[in-house]
Amino acid sequence: MSAEEFLHFAEFELQIIALSFFAIMYAIKAWTMARLPMRWENAPAKGSPGNGVAYSYAATVVPWMMSSATQHWTRWLEFGLYHIGAGLAILSTFTLPFTPQIMTQPVRIVFAVFVALALVVGAIRLWRRITAPDLRVISTPDDYFSLAAVEVFFFLTFMTLVVGTDGWRLAYFLVTAAFLFYVPFSKISHYVYWFFARVLMGVRYGRRGVMPRTGGAR
Amino acid sequence: MSQENDALKTALQELDKRYNKTVGVASSNLCTHCGWCVDQCHYYLATKDPTISPVAKAERVRRVYKRHHDWMSRVFPRWTGARELTEAELDDWVEVAYRNCTLCDRCMANCPLAVDTAQILLAARGVLLAAGKAPEMLVQLADSALAREENLDFFKEFFLEQLKELETEVQDRLGNDKARIPVEVGGAKILYVPLSGAHTITPPATVFNAVGESWTISMFEAANYATYIGDIPKAKRIAERILNEAKRLQVEEIVLAECGHAYHAMRWEAPKWFGGPLPFRVRSILEVMDEYVRAGRLSLNRANNPEPVTLHDSCNLGRKGGLFEEPRRVVRAAVEDFREMTPNRERSFCCGAGSGLVAMPEWEDIRLKAGGPKAEQVHATGASVVIASCDNCRHQFLELNEHYELKVQVMGLAELVVRALVPSSSG
């Protein structure tokens, strides 16, 4: 297999294999959670479970809804930038090989800026995890590795977007594939459960009239 | 050794039994160990001990769940910090789930991923109960509620005598010798369920008489300590005593005393235990007083309460129960100077005594320490009266008052209302 063929394989066939594996693992995870027993709220409602769920999801992205965000707004900003960067880096794994025509120079620059910011935030997060006693005490090898692995992924995404030579491209897609095989087993898979958790919290707090808040200044 | 193995076996079976959707999601890889919850916990704020932050506490239970349910943790437990359940681990859980957490839910409300730490630790409480390691005092308190039902005739005689004395106090306060604390009145609209103290009987009785309510008092107490130890069958039996009484008397609704966990248990949890909505409307006395105030049925004179007053949002009534505005409307109608604590409502801090901790004298040190953030909140308001509409919170505030020299008066909402009551308005 020539270098060119290998790059093609990494960009297409390998990605499809890795994505399929990833999707199957996530489907199993979601199915496993969905079939667990649950005693849903069944007391006469005071509020709306639907509004509660909407509020619950919104609370993640609207900083004034949680005091953990309002008290540490820079941390919330880091959280936002990190996840925007992650989203764009993931999107790039699809757009670069499958819809290259939309990855124009300005688009690449916008993507690269956000991914670079996420890379910086990731480094700050890693440093904090290593040095802050309250984080160190709860950290596992998976925590450190996952953060470091995402940093590598961000770096390669950035280089592929900015430089884009075959070498960077190959490294980027190989790491992406490896990532897709690892993520379902690591804490990076947290977002699958996030959908469940936000619904569970929203239904409970919404039905009980806790969320959305109806009175008083924050 | 064999006894130890049996306890572990039972604990593992119980652990599995409690692995439902809520616990399953919360003990999965959902938690990224980001640490946002750390300084949202009153224990951490009071001690600065990272080992008792919400995530650190939940992790001690989660790592055992992960060992059994998480793919990576099954194969490479060290990689994820997963562990097998051991006797030592169970002993640690007693500290983690009972001593160092009041299940206040504040961490979940402030978690970007909505990790339900309280449910993980409640599951741990249930496991400890099954393994015979739950605090004896809490088990006994739950049992005593059932003992009252079994020896009702004995209790009834004593209770009726006590009620006669309290009735006189109500009559004196209202200047009305027809005021009553009715017992066993079939067809009454309200079955009022008090706690053991007279402060949960006399003030509500005064309010009911003042508005001319159709009511009768329950022979039982609203408290349900079985919920604290995660003993659902027992909690169900405790609730059932009141439901049976309500059915027998054919009342329209059950009204609970100012008690956080009793409200949470009967209003929101009991329908789950019984598999559907209860045949009665369930309300807190706070909601009933709010209704009276809004309907203009209570004539209150704010000048009777001129001092600055603040209100504590009990976790079970507020963050877990949804009662935020009801007590506030009543307080505003009854006092001249109402001062909010910051933060308040769903962001309120736990008083430090929730979830049964108040009943554990051996943990008084941490309870008072964990009440520190709440004491600071009270102090910052400059209030001289604190309204605590939960008996456990009230008890804690009395101790915090002394410990932190807050120089405040602690009372329930009904007591505040009675102070503002204009007797001539009696219905």
Enumerate the domain spans of chain A: 3-13+67-194
What's CA B148's distance to the chain center, in Å?
21
Over residues A130-146, the pLDDT tens digits come to 999 999 999 999 999 99
Q: Are B116 and A201 within 8 A, CB to CB?
A: yes
- Is the CB of residue B260 less than 8 Å from the CB of residue B316? yes
Looking at chain A, the whole-number percentage of residues with pLDDT higher than 70 is: 99
Q: Are B116 and A209 within 8 A, CB to CB?
A: no
Residue B322 is encoded by which pair of tokens? 């949804």
d(CA A71, nearest CA chain B) in Å: 10
Burial class (CB in 10 A: 0-12, 13-18, 19+), A71: middle
Residue of B nearest to A141 (CA): B79
Q: Which residues of B touch A196 (CB under 8 A)?
A: 21, 25, 30
Nearest neighbour of A135 by CB, restricted to B33, B111, B267:
B33
Residue-level pLDDT at B362? 95
Residue A82 is encoded by which pair of tokens? 């990190």
Q: Are A190 and B56 within 8 A, CB to CB?
A: no
User: What are the b/e assignments for B177-198, b being 16+ CB within 10 Å?
Assistant: eebbbbeebeebebbbbbbeee
Residue-level pLDDT at A218? 52
Residue-level pLDDT at B225? 95
Q: Are A218 and B347 within 8 A, CB to CB?
A: yes
Angle between helices B285-294 and B325-334 (to 10 degrees): 50
**Rounded to whole angstroms, how far apart are CA atoms B81 and B322?**
37
* AA identity, residue A68: S
**Rounded to whole angstroms, how far apart are CA atoms B243 and B38?**
40
d(CA A209, nearest CA chain B) in Å: 5
Q: Are A208 and B321 within 8 A, CB to CB?
A: yes
- Is the CB of residue B166 less than 8 Å from the CB of residue B202? yes
> pLDDT 10s per residue in chain B (427 long)?
566 788 899 999 999 999 999 999 999 999 999 999 999 999 999 999 999 999 999 999 999 999 999 999 999 999 999 999 999 999 999 999 999 999 999 999 999 999 999 999 999 999 999 999 999 999 999 999 898 888 888 889 999 999 999 999 999 999 999 999 999 999 999 999 999 999 999 999 999 999 999 999 999 999 999 999 999 999 999 999 999 999 999 999 999 999 999 999 999 999 999 999 999 999 999 999 999 999 999 999 999 999 999 999 999 999 999 999 999 999 999 999 999 999 999 999 999 999 999 999 999 999 999 999 999 999 999 999 999 999 999 999 999 999 999 999 999 999 999 999 997 644 4
Strands B281-284 and B253-256: parallel
**Rounded to whole angstroms, how far apart are CA atoms B250 and B76?**
60
d(CA B419, nearest CA chain A) in Å: 26
Q: Are A216 and B340 within 8 A, CB to CB?
A: yes
| CATH 3.40.50 domain residues, chain B | 297-425
Q: Is pLDDT of A217 > 70?
A: no
Over residues A41-77, the pLDDT tens digits come to 999 999 999 999 999 999 988 888 899 999 999 999 9
B297-425: CATH topology is Rossmann fold (3.40.50)
* Entry pTM: 0.94
Residue of B nearest to A46 (CA): B322
Strands B190-193 and B409-411: unpaired
Residue-level pLDDT at B426? 45
Provide the 3-class DSSP secondary structure of residue B421.
strand
For residue A23, what is the enclosing H or E element?
helix A13-34
Q: Are B33 and A187 within 8 A, CB to CB?
A: yes
Contacts with B, A 172-201, CB within 8 Å: 184-190, 193-194, 196-198, 200-201
Nearest neighbour of B267 by CB, restricted to A39, A43, A47:
A43
- Is the CB of residue B362 less than 8 Å from the CB of residue A82? no
Residue of B nearest to A189 (CA): B29
What's CA B184's distance to the chain center, in Å?
27
Q: Are A193 and B116 within 8 A, CB to CB?
A: no
Positive or negative, the Cα torsion across B181, B183, B188, B194?
positive
Flag whether the ipTM exceeds 0.90.
yes
Q: Which residues of B touch A46 (CB under 8 A)?
A: 322
Give me Rg for the CA atoms of chain A: 20
Contacts with B, A 138-167, CB within 8 Å: 138-143, 145
